[in-house]
């Protein structure tokens, strides 16, 4: 019934074409830029700036937080791991996660607004272990915050980060190795913190994205008027 289908990643655009024979318009999702969270929120969780790793997402199996917890459990460090998110329908999985975790792992539940900005702005790095394809808005946001991001090497994740993040092969052992390298080399973290906002400004800037939506809407209105569509106004 629709006039156009929009996909927010090239990977999903290719999937729609290959699997459904559906032509789509590619317009990416976007993000803002800036580390602007105050420290009061992180102190609510007894955290110190730059001394914890961050995960944000629904606590469901497909987001693979269990891989991250298993990897972190094997790392000898005083850093903490903060899991932001929840899922009211996955109590069994959440119990399994908490059983895997040690005392360094903090479950915050849902955190939004200023709390989310604060936790994001003061993290040492952000980890996205999920292999779900398509653009994950949280990954764009974390790049915009200027975080060093570590992602599984799914096509969708790699499309988003380009050369502005660190990838691992999806295994617990490789994730452990990558996190240990970051702990040992804070200069690497600083390098990638500078690349994230550049990536957002170049490819995922909201001003350019809204221009693309306006252009598409205008084309639809003109086409509708040409064919006498009553709703083209």
Query: Based on the domain organization, do 61 and 11 belong to the same domain?
Result: no
DSSP secondary structure code for residue 148 in this structure:
-
Residue 113 falls within a domain, yes or no? yes
Buried b (16+ CB within 10 A) or exposed e, 137-173: ebbbbbbbbbbbbbbbebbbbebbbeebbbbbebebe
Asked whether residue 65 carries a pLDDT value surpassing 80, the answer given is yes
User: Structurally, how many domains does the chain consist of?
Assistant: 2
Task: Indicate whether 155 and 173 sit together in one domain.
Answer: yes
User: Looking at the domain assignment, is residue 196 inside a domain?
Assistant: yes
Average the pLDDT over 158-173 and give the result. Answer: 97
Residue 231, pLDDT score: 52
In a domain, 133, yes or no: yes
Query: Are both 87 and 198 inside the same structural domain?
Result: yes
Q: What is the pLDDT of residue 66?
A: 97
Residues 103 and 184 in one domain: yes
Would you say residue 44 lies in a domain? yes
> 65 in a domain, yes or no?
yes
Rounded CA-CA distance 46/41 in Å is: 9
pLDDT in the model for residue 232: 44
127 with 212, same domain: the answer is: no
- Compute the mean pLDDT over every residue in the chain, rounded to the nearest whole number: 93
Do 112 and 150 reside in the same domain of the chain? yes
The verdict on residue 187 lying in a domain is: yes
Whether 24 and 44 share a structural domain: no
Does residue 1 belong to any structural domain of this protein? no
**How high is the pLDDT of residue 35?**
80
Domain that holds residue 176: 40-203
pLDDT at 225 over 80: no
What CATH number did the domain enclosing 181 receive? 3.40.50.2000
Same domain flag for 50 and 73: yes
Q: Is the pTM of this model over 0.95?
A: no
Average pLDDT over residues 161-181: 97
Q: Tell me the pLDDT band of 233, cut-offs 50, 70 and 90.
A: very low
pLDDT confidence of residue 112: 94
Q: Residue 226: pLDDT above 70?
A: no
pLDDT at 142: 97
pLDDT of 129 above 80: yes
Sheet holding 105-109, edge to edge: 105-109, 80-84, 52-56, 125-128, 149-152, 166-168
Share of the chain above pLDDT 70, in %: 96
d(CA 120, CA 114): 10
Report how far residue 127's alpha carbon sits from residue 161's, in angstroms, rounded to the nearest whole number: 12
> In this structure, are 114 and 220 located in the same domain?
no
> What is the structure's pLDDT at 96?
96
Do 151 and 55 belong to one domain?
yes
Residues 63 and 163 in one domain: yes
Domain assignment present for 111: yes
Mean pLDDT on 50-78: 97
Do 180 and 213 fall into the same domain?
no
């Amino acid at each position: 019934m629709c006039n156009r289908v929009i996909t927010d990643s090239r990977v999903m655009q290719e999937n729609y074409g290959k699997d459904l024979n559906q032509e789509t318009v590619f317009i990416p999702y976007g993000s803002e830029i800036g580390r602007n969270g105050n420290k009061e929120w992180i102190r609510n969780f007894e955290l110190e700036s730059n001394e914890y790793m961050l995960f944000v997402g629904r606590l469901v199996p497909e987001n693979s937080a269990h891989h991250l917890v298993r990897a972190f459990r094997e790392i000898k460090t005083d850093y903490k791991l903060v899991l932001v998110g929840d899922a009211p329908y996955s109590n069994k999985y959440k119990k399994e996660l908490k059983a895997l975790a040690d005392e360094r792992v903090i479950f915050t539940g849902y955190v939004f607004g200023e709390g989310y900005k604060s936790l994001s702005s003061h993290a040492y790095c952000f980890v996205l272990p999920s292999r779900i394809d398509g653009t994950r808005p949280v990954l764009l946001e974390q790049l915009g915050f200027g975080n060093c991001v570590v992602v599984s090497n799914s096509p969708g994740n790699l499309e988003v980060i380009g050369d502005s993040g660190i990838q691992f092969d999806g295994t617990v052992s490789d994730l452990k190795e990558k996190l240990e390298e970051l702990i040992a080399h804070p200069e690497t973290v600083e390098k990638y913190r500078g690349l994230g906002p550049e990536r957002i400004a170049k490819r995922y800037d909201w001003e350019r994205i809204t221009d693309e939506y306006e252009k598409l809407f205008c084309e639809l209105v003109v086409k509708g008027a040409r064919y006498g569509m009553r709703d083209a106004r």
